[in-house]
Chains A and B, each alone.
Chain A
Amino acid sequence: MPSGSEATRRAGGVLRLAALLAGAGLLLSFPALAPNPYILSAGITVLNYAVLSTAWSLVGGFTGYISLGHGALLGLGAYGTGLLITKAGLPSFVALAAAAAIVALLAVPVGFAALRVRGASFVIVSIALVLILLLVFQSWASFTGGSRGLVVPRPFPDLTRPEHHRVFFFLFAGLLAAALATWWAIDRSRFGLGLRAIREDEDKAQALGTPTFAFKLAVFVVSAAFTALGGGLYALWFGDLDPVFQFSVLTGAYMVLMALLGGVRHLFGPLLGALIVGWALEWFKLQYGDTPLHLVATGLLLGVVVMFMPDGVIPALSGLLARFRPGEASIREVTAAELPASQARGPRA
């Protein structure tokens, strides 16, 4: 390999590390910079979205199985945490960990049933899961509080409101870092390569020896655990749960939109998507109150992304940048010329 390309790669690596540190620094200084608690809590909401869309992309991104049912996992994580505190008397963060573990366990049979069907059928099965749980949690009011809601005690009762927000900002940032690290570790592993093979052509992946079902199930469980942690942490932060918001197909749709908008082929794609969509949602709420307008906007945006930017904004933007760089012949053009020669007698002879 020519040492020139090695040097460029190393420079690229340094650049990326610098960008990563700058991004992390910016993120961590946000609570200090936020002018008021409202902006800070909007930041927490966006971080929570980033956790959820990154968790979603572990399944939806790597394998291409588009789940609209992650709202169910989120709701179970949130209610699990709340109920384990209020009914079982567990300490807040023990309840959070236990709820995530329970949801991960539940994800095994759920994944076992849902991951057998592909494409549109999988989407529908995943929606059904959310609706069933919504019904259960609404009607089983004696246990869940029903539509009156469930009040989750605060983990740090002595903190003032701004302090409470600040602590949770860092907790969500830590959870996001863990989700991103997991994504990164999977992406570079054989397991991750197998998952991407499933996205491209599941039958072919299987024919090459990939245990596709076990892989899908494993990553679904990991995704479910992170989604539940996101939901549970939200419960501890927000302190009030309502089935309609916790078990919502819309939440699942947001996760899909954020991940696809940012792009699922890139580590920071879902995070970027969450920044864009999350802020937009908060802004909409601020401007117009809780109207169905943001629903329309979500739907439109999802349509635009799927039709015009199937790989999300990152490749779309770098594609745009590439147009201003000196062109490079496409591989097909080069190889078309090479093909006859290489067929006559290997390219090296």
Chain B
Amino acid sequence: MRSLETVELTKSFGGVTAVDAATVAFQDGKVNALIGPNGSGKTTFFNCVTGMIRPDSGRASYRGQDITGKAPHRITRAGIGRSFQLCRVFPRMTVLDNLLVAVRAGGLKAQLTSARDRAEIARARGWLERMGIDHLERAEARNLSWGQQKLLELAGVMMGDPETILLDEPAGGVNPALLERIAGLVRQLNQEGRTFVIVEHNMDLVMGLSDHIVVFDRGRPIAEGPPSAIKSDPRVLEAYLGV
């Protein structure tokens, strides 16, 4: 099946063209990586395809369905979840409530029922256990360490049961042990059928984890392929690895 795709997607901020007519297709069921130097437009690309920013021109689609300019919550409900580059959680809410926010409930009646639904709490606990932070369920999110907040953010994204998950620098600022755990989680979740698109600077992680890599430079893809090909692509070496 077709996954997340863009055609000539463009977004400028003043004089800076952050994403420049980017035409990209990610592979369904795979771990995709989106790499590129700082400022090459990776985060802006994520923001455009998740509806956080409206692109100036071009189109984005998911599983063949047009999602250009749709509201973020609609795109989330279409099955795309995302994390933020600077990990974002609800600081004054408990860990459990952080997850319950992501419960999908349609209709007025569902919205007016208790947020603390037993079945949803059980599901949330399942994700917290998987992330290894279930003992923190009642803690306020702001009291968690950075690494725990990263895991909490991931648990929150998973609570929405996304088929495709965009992670913006999941390894940013985390220690090697946690990095290993996050990589393990991504691998497992992918084996369970979820698609990933990961923006990451840690090359060991990217090369070890991904099936398909797209390389960005100045807002557009300059190369794509499996890790083995990307590693030796001269354009990539020049633009990104600075060799």
| Interface pair A209/B73, CB less than 8 Å apart | yes
Number of residue pairs spanning A and B whose beta carbons lie under 8 angstroms apart: 118
In the assembled complex, B118 has its CB within 8 A of some CB on chain A? no
Segment at the interface with A among B1-9, B36-44, B144-152, B188-196:
B144-152
Could you say which of A89-97, A154-162, A200-208, A276-284 contacts chain B? A200-208
- Asked whether any CB of chain A lies closer than 8 Å to the CB of B232, the reply is no
Find A339's partner among B51, B71, B90, B147 (CB 8 Å cutoff): B147
Partner of A343, one of B52, B72, B139, B177: B177
> Do the beta carbons of B112 and A344 come within 8 Å of each other?
no
> CB distance B134 to A347 under 8 Å?
yes
Q: Tell me, yes or no, whether A331 is within 8 Å of chain B by CB.
A: yes
A147 at the interface (CB under 8 A from B): no
Determine the residue in chain B with the shortest Cβ distance to A330. Answer: B143
**B231 at interface, CB cutoff 8 A:** no
Residues of B within 8 A of A348 (CB): 129
Pairwise interchain contact B145-A335, C-beta atoms closer than 8 A = yes
Q: Contact at A197–B90, with CB atoms within 8 Å?
A: yes
Tell me the smallest distance from the CB of A177 to a CB of chain B, in Å: 19
On chain B, the residues within 8 Å of A207 by CB distance are 50, 52, 72, 76, 81-82, 84
Shortest distance from the beta carbon of A210 to any chain B beta carbon, whole Å: 6
A325 at the interface (CB under 8 A from B): no
The yes or no answer to B223 lying at the interface (CB within 8 A) is: no
Are B160 and A208 in contact, with the CB atoms below 8 A?
yes
| B-contact bits for A300-328, CB 8 A (1 contact / 0 none) | 00000000000000000000000000000
In the bound complex, how far is the Cα of B72 from the Cα of A329, in angstroms?
39
* Contact between B101 and A211, CB atoms less than 8 A apart: no
Interface residues of B, count at CB 8 A: 52
Interface flags, B39-76, vs A, CB<8A=1, else 0: 00000000000111000000000000000000111001
Q: Mark A19-32, 1 if CB is under 8 A from B, else 0.
A: 00000000000000
Given the known interface contacts A209-B102, A211-B73, A335-B136, the answer about A188 and B90 at a Cβ–Cβ threshold of 8 Å is no
Chain B residues 69-113 with CB under 8 Å of chain A are 71-73, 76-77, 81-82, 84, 88-93, 97, 100-105, 110-113
Give chain B residues whose Cβ lies under 8 Å from the Cβ of A210. Answer: 73, 101
The residue from A190, A196, A205, A331 contacting B110, defined by CB atoms under 8 A apart: A190
B103: chain A residues within 8 A (beta carbon): 190
Say yes or no: is B178 at the interface (Cβ < 8 Å to chain A): yes
A343 touches B143 (CB 8 A): no
Q: Give, as a whole number of angstroms, the nearest-CB distance from B92 to chain A.
A: 6
B115 part of interface (Cβ distance < 8 Å): yes
Chain B residues close to A by CB (< 8 Å): 50-52, 71-73, 76-77, 81-82, 84, 88-93, 97, 100-105, 110-116, 129, 132-136, 139-140, 143-145, 147-148, 156-157, 159-160, 175, 177-178, 181
| A190-B110, A206-B71, A343-B147 given; 9 more Cβ-contact pairs under 8 Å | A190-B111, A190-B112, A192-B115, A193-B100, A206-B51, A208-B102, A342-B132, A343-B132, A343-B181
Task: Identify the A interface with B (CB < 8 A).
Answer: 185, 188-194, 196-197, 200-201, 203-213, 330-332, 335-336, 338-340, 342-344, 346-348
Contact sample, A vs B, 8 pairs, CB 8 Å cutoff: A196-B97, A197-B90, A205-B90, A207-B81, A209-B102, A332-B144, A338-B135, A339-B147
The 4 closest A-B pairs by CB, nearest first: A200-B90, A209-B76, A193-B115, A343-B177
